[in-house]
Amino acid sequence: MLKKLFQSFRSPLRRTQHKRSTPEVLNSSQHSLQRAQFSRYAVNIVERLQNAGYQAYLVGGCVRDMLLNITPKDFDVATSATPEQVRAEFRNARIIGRRFKLVHIHFGREIIEVATFRANHPQNDEDEDSNQSSRNESGRILRDNVYGTLEDDAQRRDFTINALYYDPVSERILDYANGVHDIRNNLMRLIGDPTQRYQEDPVRMLRAVRFAAKLNFGIEKHTAAPIRDLAPMLREIPSARLFEEVLKLFLSGYAADTFEMLVDLQLFDPLFPASAEALERNPTYTHTLISEALINTDLRIKQNKPVTPAFLFAALLWPALPARVLRLQNRGMPPIPAMQEAAHELIAEQCHRIAIPKRFTLPIREIWDMQERLPRRSGKRADLLLDNPRFRAGYDFLLLRESAGEQTDGLGEWWTDYQDANDSERREMIRELSGKGDGSGDAPKKRRRSSGSKRKRSAADTPGAVGE
């Protein structure tokens, strides 16, 4: 049956003939959902829209997550009412978006997103109204405001597990794409022909990975098959949109698994081309460093500790940096200016792919700059570095490099000891460095600690994506 379903989406002519228009209806006795589990504001919106004569349902991720006993991050509503009609019903409503018009209804800090049922785009260019829908030459949807029926909307959803509609009034689930079946089988499956759906929006490839990692689902073979060939289409996506998608990929608590899947499906290259090149050139070190950073980021998120995208991007891009620094040093540039110039060049290139805001690029460069400064500890330099607001992030990053196998002649241990030492012990540590040279990174002699054992840092504290 599923094989026939996928075959029916091969041709635009056959797709309309085989579109499923009758959902499987699950009554309250056939599922575990109860209206009290959902946001009371979202339930209220559904009831008010239904009382006004419109169709309205809770839809997508909130229904999926509730079926999996996961607390939803947000609650979305789908309705037959147009954005203008929704706004007319709610004073606290605001229409947003041009590419995809939505309504946000505000209840204090909680925002309920309401979307009008969408329909498929016209197959012929001459039938398209550019004010409602448009595509580029490769088939990517540029504007998506073609409204339709509930049945149309279900077919326009990306994955079967997101095409579930819950009516909190009747407490029924409408399942148009066997989504409940795929949830029970832990499977990610695209609705429709995978190649066409990815061409319409290449970000769906990233969404497939994100949901699979988050839910611990497998990606159905036909859904996965075109991804490697179509991965370069991500280069067409606006860099600002990719920044938001990358944050969702790596700051949702499943970054380590996400990274493995991105690499396996060749999606990492169009997102981080310089790092992908470093992964190919020096696979063990690059993979270890990025994986360690992501594992500890996941741990911090699970422990409700703060994280910052700056540390995350610093780790993702670092493996591409040393070779550039060395190249500049070989041309006669001193180490710190070489680091600064290479960092500027690498970040500028990366921002063409992913628009990292300046509020993050500046601390990224400061974390990297600290890697050249931390070995320089003679005189008053160590104390000045310890007072630097970026010291902790730079120190954590140093430990991350060491955990990936970089040889720093005990620099991380030295700074760990220095932070724990009293003033006289610190002066002795500096004198030991002076006796060996200029304090540029030689390993210090072992010293007897005055009290207590060396402080142990947990995996969640270092080297993770620290909060600033």
- What confidence tens digit (pLDDT) does each residue in 392-401 have? 999 999 999 9
pLDDT of residue 21: 66
Whole-number average pLDDT of the chain: 86
Q: For residue range 17-38, what is the model confidence (pLDDT) as tens digits?
A: 345 568 899 999 999 999 999 9
Any domain includes 249: no
Instruction: Report the 3 state secondary structure along 194-260.
Output: HHHHHHHCCHHHHHHHHHHHHHCCEECHHHHCCHHHHHHHHHHCCHHHHHHHHHHHHCCCCHHHHHH
Residue 300 sits in the same domain as residue 169: no
> For position 304, which CATH number holds?
1.10.3090.10
Any domain includes 196: no
Residue 179 sits in the same domain as residue 304: no
216-241 burial by CB neighbour count: b if 16+ within 10 A, else e? ebebbebbbebbeebbebbeebeeee
Q: For residue 422, is pLDDT > 50?
A: yes
Residue 194: pLDDT band by 50, 70, 90 thresholds?
A: very high
Q: For residue 448, is pLDDT > 90?
A: no
Any domain includes 460: no
Domain termination residue (choose one: 132, 160, 185): 185
Q: Give the residue-averaged pLDDT of 320-338.
A: 94
d(CA 64, CA 60) in angstroms, rounded, equals 6
Overall domain count for the chain? 2
Residue 157 sits in the same domain as residue 293: no
Q: For residue 268, is pLDDT > 80?
A: yes
d(CA 394, CA 377) in angstroms, rounded, equals 14
Reply yes or no on whether 158 is catalytic. yes
Q: For residue 466, is pLDDT > 80?
A: no
Any domain includes 103: yes
Parent domain of 336:
279-433
pLDDT of residue 379: 87
Q: Which of 74, 152, 167, 257 is catalytic?
A: 74
Residue 161 sits in the same domain as residue 293: no
Residue 174 sits in the same domain as residue 304: no
Whether the pTM exceeds 0.85: the reply is: no
pLDDT of residue 131: 45
Any domain includes 155: yes
Residue 298 sits in the same domain as residue 162: no
Residue 119: pLDDT band by 50, 70, 90 thresholds?
A: confident
Q: For residue 138, is pLDDT > 80?
A: no
Q: In what order do the strands lie in the sheet with 76-79?
A: 24-26, 172-175, 164-167, 56-59, 76-79, 110-116, 102-107, 93-96
Q: For residue range 233-249, what is the model confidence (pLDDT) as tens digits?
A: 999 999 999 999 999 99
Q: Give the residue-averaged pLDDT of 387-409.
A: 94
% pLDDT > 70, the chain: 83
pLDDT of residue 440: 57
Q: For residue range 337-386, what is the model confidence (pLDDT) as tens digits?
A: 999 999 999 999 999 999 999 999 999 999 999 999 999 998 899 999 99
Any domain includes 5: no
Residue 122: pLDDT band by 50, 70, 90 thresholds?
A: low
Q: Which two tokens stand for residue 234?
A: 């991500």
pLDDT of residue 217: 96
Q: Which of 158, 182, 298, 396 is catalytic?
A: 158
In Å, what is the CA distance from 328 to each residue of 20, 125, 277, 278?
61, 51, 19, 17
pLDDT of residue 461: 53
Q: For residue 126, is pLDDT > 50?
A: no
Residue 149 sits in the same domain as residue 28: yes
Residue 52 sits in the same domain as residue 174: yes
Top pLDDT among 12 and 85 is at 85
Q: For residue 333, is pLDDT > 70?
A: yes
Q: Which amino acid is at 94?
A: R
Q: Give the residue-averaged pLDDT of 133-137.
A: 47
Residue 161 sits in the same domain as residue 308: no
pLDDT of residue 27: 94
Q: Give the residue-averaged pLDDT of 127-143.
A: 47
Residue 460: pLDDT band by 50, 70, 90 thresholds?
A: very low
Least confident of 61-70, 91-100, 336-345: 91-100
Phi, psi at 102, each rounded to 5°: -135, 165
> For position 66, which CATH number holds?
3.30.460.10
pLDDT of residue 454: 43
Residue 439: pLDDT band by 50, 70, 90 thresholds?
A: low
